[in-house]
């Protein structure tokens, strides 16, 4: 009887050895991962056979001293707890009644001395009807981080884990693995497996989220560095490929069930090189289309002159500051036309077909740095609304503007230059308050319109006013009451007469230095000219005389007087006509008149440099008319005359196209001129 028991004992030990060796094979580990991924926590109860009885979860077994158990090959097969002090321990396995020494575990009969593993890292022994279980003891590791490879019970250092199985779990998840076959897993406690599996899923989700956050952060840093480098590369010739705004696409969290199904279908992919399931897919930058043919780029400027464009090309470049679209067929400017180039400072849209309804109300809203806007040669009926307040120069010449209301220029407090020539503006359709918002305006061009009087409400800051080619007939005494800084007034090609210019129109202007009244209907040089006047242009009128002392009140004195193409005669110039300008006049133009002799007073002009008397009817040049006469019988007078001549600054004299006999000219007629080549005498007319 004892021999038979001994044989049974060794057979049981051999079976346990084979069972413990096979349960660590790769196939068993792969099956355990598959079962875990399919959710054993939800299906283990359903897979239990109806014949199998419900088993109470085993109670934790206290750790006790252990003894070795020797198998048939004289090798150590496991470590069991000592039988000392086990009398008070309760086992969750019942003793089979009627058969002394046998045990029952999970509905199975275990003979005396039988060994089995009810769950991972736990080994049990049937000893005389009592079940004794032992938990595997692990060595203490001295490393900062430890992990438990799949299928193992004891932890290892993380630096050596790369050579082991890639399915690694934290120390707390050891209860998830089972050392038994799939059948024994089904019989294990479902609550323990469910809690362990849930904790594993949470840990995996946490790892995935941390990985996603790190990847997104790295991509954002790299994108920011690339943007900074691109902004510094100005002047490159490849500006046609413009930079787009890089938008990071948020990683999409996949459904857990779909993820488990994918893992179930691709078990072979489990390994150290498997791609993380939530790894974000990089989104390539969106590049705008290249510039149309006919466009070129240089430094920070894009030029599309005469490129046959019908719309503003889509451009995205934060470094672009100048855009030239002259000479195309653009008809509209949408609200989004300049969204990709918000740093523009200069736009030229001249010579297109842009209409007022074609400009969106928000078209220029984003251009906070825009300083110059050119819209010459279009079909605008109104000044565009919503223009940036940073604008300093606007040109809307040669359009169809027919009105400017009091809000037409609202918000343009920084505007310095405004050009509105070649439109249909007049005092009837321009509000007296239209220019009130322009607190910085100094340069205003309103030429080639339909004004009959000087526009009202001119800005206080105005310095230059151009009103040529209008129908102005009158200059009232209140026109320039508020423009104390005005310096230049151009009124050429109008219908002015000297008696329609009010005596107080501009005589008290302290800064007015230049007036152009060319090509009007003046018969005399106007009186009551500004005291500060330096430059007077009267070309192309019907002026017959220069009244005496007309320049006498000016200080410091008139410097430039242009009277070409008039009807001046010898009787129209008095000996005192130039009084007040003898010591200041630098240029005197009297050409294309009816003068028969050189006017009096020219020899008194000590600062005169340029004299034009050509195209008149002059027949002779007396020595004393241009240069003072030479007196030879008085040395004192000679010395005084030489000093006077040395002070003369006359450099150019034009006398061509008169009736002068050059052979009869006195050798002293041009003695004050240093170079005779500066005197133009040919050709001359003949009778």
Predicted confidence (pLDDT) per residue in 540-553, tens digit: 999 999 999 999 99
Q: Return the SS3 of 489.
A: strand
Residue-level pLDDT at 208: 62
Q: Residue 638 to residues 39, 591, 606, 629: CA-CA distances in angstroms?
A: 128, 33, 18, 10
> Average pLDDT for residues 325-339, to the nearest whole number?
95
Residue-level pLDDT at 202: 52
Residue-level pLDDT at 299: 84
- 621 pLDDT above the threshold of 50: yes
Reported in sequence order, the residue ranges of 521-595 that DSSP labels E, i.e. its strands, are: 535-537, 560-562, 587-589
Residue-level pLDDT at 89: 42
> For residue 122, what pLDDT band results from cuts at 50, 70 and 90?
confident
Mean pLDDT over all residues of the chain? 76
- 603 pLDDT above the threshold of 60: yes
Residue-level pLDDT at 144: 75
What is the per-residue pLDDT across 547-599, written as a single tens digit (0 to 9) for each? Answer: 999 999 999 999 999 999 999 999 999 889 999 999 999 999 999 999 999 99
- 41 pLDDT above the threshold of 80: no
Residue-level pLDDT at 179: 41
Residue scoring higher pLDDT (210 or 562): 562
- What does the alpha-carbon distance between residue 345 and residue 501 come to, in Å, rounded to a whole number? 42
Torsion angle of the four alpha carbons 34, 36, 40, 41, in this order, in degrees rounded to the nearest 10:
-160
Residue-level pLDDT at 28: 52
Residue-level pLDDT at 665: 87
What is the per-residue pLDDT across 110-121, written as a single tens digit (0 to 9) for each? Answer: 777 777 777 777
What is the per-residue pLDDT across 160-187, written as a single tens digit (0 to 9) for each? Answer: 444 444 444 444 443 443 344 444 443 3
Residue-level pLDDT at 150: 72
pTM above 0.85, yes or no: no
Identify whether the C-beta of residue 593 lies closer than 8 Å to the C-beta of residue 563.
yes
> Average pLDDT for residues 674-683, to the nearest whole number?
85
Residue scoring higher pLDDT (160 or 460): 460
Buried b (16+ CB within 10 A) or exposed e, 274-289: eeeebebeeeeeeebe
Residue-level pLDDT at 530: 94
Residue scoring higher pLDDT (15 or 313): 313
Residue-level pLDDT at 219: 64
Q: Lowest mean pLDDT of 85-99, 562-576, 668-682, name the range.
A: 85-99
By the 10 Å C-beta count (0-12 exposed, 13-18 middle, 19+ buried), 495 is classed as middle
Residue-level pLDDT at 285: 61
> For residue 283, what pLDDT band results from cuts at 50, 70 and 90?
low
> Average pLDDT for residues 432-456, to the nearest whole number?
95
> For residue 459, what pLDDT band results from cuts at 50, 70 and 90?
very high
Identify whether the C-beta of residue 166 lies closer than 8 Å to the C-beta of residue 267.
no
What is the per-residue pLDDT across 409-422, written as a single tens digit (0 to 9) for each? Answer: 999 999 999 999 99
- 668 pLDDT above the threshold of 80: yes
Residue scoring higher pLDDT (425 or 197): 425
- 372 pLDDT above the threshold of 60: yes
> Average pLDDT for residues 641-652, to the nearest whole number?
63
- What does the alpha-carbon distance between residue 51 and residue 57 come to, in Å, rounded to a whole number? 18
> Average pLDDT for residues 1-5, to the nearest whole number?
58
- 320 pLDDT above the threshold of 60: yes
What is the per-residue pLDDT across 247-265, written as a single tens digit (0 to 9) for each? Answer: 344 444 444 444 444 444 4
The candidate with the shortest Cα–Cα distance to 227, out of 351, 363, 318, 91, is 318
DSSP 98-159: TSTT-EEETTEEE-TT-EEEEETTEEEEEETTEEEEEEPP-PPP-SS-EEEETT-SS-EEGG
Work out whether strand 535-537 and strand 514-516 pair parallel, antiparallel, or are unpaired. Answer: parallel
**All residues at 6 or more sequence positions from 212 whose CB lies less than 8 Å from its CB, including other chains:** 251, 278, 279, 280
Local structure of residue 355 (DSSP, 8 states) = B
Percent of the chain with pLDDT over 70: 63
Residue-level pLDDT at 510: 92
> For residue 190, what pLDDT band results from cuts at 50, 70 and 90?
very low
Residue-level pLDDT at 532: 95
Residue scoring higher pLDDT (212 or 476): 476
- 367 pLDDT above the threshold of 60: yes
Q: Lowest mean pLDDT of 127-136, 565-574, 618-627, name the range.
A: 127-136
Residue-level pLDDT at 74: 41
> For residue 355, what pLDDT band results from cuts at 50, 70 and 90?
very high
> For residue 237, what pLDDT band results from cuts at 50, 70 and 90?
very low
Name, of 25-29, 143-147, 290-294, 529-533, the range with top average pLDDT: 529-533
DSSP 614-659: -SS------HHHHSPPP--S-HHHHHHHHHHHHH----EEE--SS-
- What does the alpha-carbon distance between residue 96 and residue 377 come to, in Å, rounded to a whole number? 110
Boundaries of every domain in the chain:
2-23+34-146+175-194
The candidate with the shortest Cα–Cα distance to 498, out of 471, 468, 469, 528, is 528
Instruction: Name 490's bridge partners.
Output: 466, 516
> Average pLDDT for residues 331-353, to the nearest whole number?
95
> For residue 5, what pLDDT band results from cuts at 50, 70 and 90?
low
- What does the alpha-carbon distance between residue 481 and residue 467 come to, in Å, rounded to a whole number? 17
């Amino acid at each position: 009887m004892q021999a038979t028991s001994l044989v049974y004992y060794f057979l049981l030990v051999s079976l346990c050895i084979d069972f413990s060796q096979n349960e660590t094979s790769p196939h068993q580990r792969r099956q355990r991962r598959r079962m875990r991924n399919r959710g054993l926590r939800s299906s283990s109860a359903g897979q239990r056979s109806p014949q199998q009885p419900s088993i109470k979860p085993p109670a934790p077994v206290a750790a006790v001293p252990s003894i070795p158990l020797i198998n048939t090959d004289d090798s150590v097969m496991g470590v069991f707890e000592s039988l000392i002090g086990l009398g008070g321990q309760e086992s969750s396995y019942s003793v089979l009644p009627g058969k002394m020494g046998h045990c029952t575990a999970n509905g199975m009969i275990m003979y005396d001395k039988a060994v089995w593993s009810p769950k991972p890292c736990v080994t049990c022994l049937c000893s005389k009807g009592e079940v004794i279980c032992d938990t595997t003891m692990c060595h203490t590791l001295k490393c900062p981080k430890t992990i438990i490879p799949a299928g193992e019970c004891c932890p290892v250092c993380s630096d050596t884990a790369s050579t082991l199985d890639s399915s690694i779990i934290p120390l707390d998840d050891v209860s998830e693995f089972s050392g038994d076959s799939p059948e024994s897993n089904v019989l294990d406690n479902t609550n323990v497996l469910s809690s362990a599996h849930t904790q594993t899923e949470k840990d995996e989700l946490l790892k995935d989220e941390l990985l996603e956050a790190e990847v997104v952060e790295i991509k954002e840093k790299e994108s920011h560095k690339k943007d900074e480098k691109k902004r510094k590369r100005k002047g490159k010739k490849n500006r046609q490929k413009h930079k787009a705004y890089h938008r990071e696409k948020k990683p999409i969290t996949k459904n857990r069930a779909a993820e488990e199904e994918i893992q179930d279908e691709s078990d072979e992919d489990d390994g150290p090189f498997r791609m993380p399931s939530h790894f974000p897919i990089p989104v390539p930058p969106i590049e705008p289309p290249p510039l149309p043919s006919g466009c070129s780029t240089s430094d920070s400027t894009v030029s599309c002159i005469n490129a046959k464009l019908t719309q503003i090309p889509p451009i995205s470049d934060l470094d672009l500051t100048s855009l030239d679209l002259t000479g195309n067929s653009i008809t509209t400017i949408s609200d989004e036309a300049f969204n990709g180039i918000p740093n523009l400072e200069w736009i030229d849209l001249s010579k297109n077909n842009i209409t007022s309804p074609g400009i969106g109300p928000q078209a220029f809203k984003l251009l906070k740095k825009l300083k110059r806007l050119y819209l010459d040669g279009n079909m605008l009926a109104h000044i565009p609304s919503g223009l940036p307040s940073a604008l300093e120069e606007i040109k809307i010449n040669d359009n169809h503007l027919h009105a400017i209301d009091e809000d037409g220029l609202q918000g343009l407090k920084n505007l310095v230059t405004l050009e509105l020539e070649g439109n249909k503006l007049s005092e009837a359709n321009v509000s007296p308050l239209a220019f009130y918002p322009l607190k910085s305006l100094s340069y205003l061009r309103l030429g080639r319109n339909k004004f009959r009087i000087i526009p009202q409400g001119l800005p206080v800051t105005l310095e230059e006013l151009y009103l040529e080619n209008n129908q102005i007939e009158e200059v009232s005494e209140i026109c320039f009451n508020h423009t104390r800084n005005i310096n230049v007034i151009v009124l050429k090609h109008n219908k002015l007469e000297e008696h329609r210019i009010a005596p107080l129109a501009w005589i008290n202007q302290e800064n007015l230095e230049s007036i152009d009244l060319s090509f009007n209907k003046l018969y005399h040089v106007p009186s009551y000219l500004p005291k500060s006047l330096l430059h007077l242009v009267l070309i192309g009128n019907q002026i017959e005389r220069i009244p005496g002392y007309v320049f006498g009140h000016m200080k410091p004195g008139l410097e430039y007087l242009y009277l070409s193409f008039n009807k001046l005669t010898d009787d129209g110039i008095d000996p005192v006509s130039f009084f007040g300008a003898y010591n200041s006049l630098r240029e005197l133009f009297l050409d294309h008149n009816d003068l028969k002799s050189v006017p009096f007073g020219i020899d008194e002009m000590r600062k005169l440099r340029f004299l034009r008397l050509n195209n008149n009817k002059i027949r002779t040049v007396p020595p004393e008319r241009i240069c003072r006469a030479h007196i030879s019988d008085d040395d004192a007078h000679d010395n005084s005359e030489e000093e006077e001549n040395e002070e003369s600054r006359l450099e150019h004299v034009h006398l061509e196209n008169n009736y002068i006999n050059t052979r009869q000219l006195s050798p002293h007629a041009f003695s004050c001129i240093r170079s005779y080549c500066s005197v133009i005498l040919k050709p001359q007319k003949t009778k």
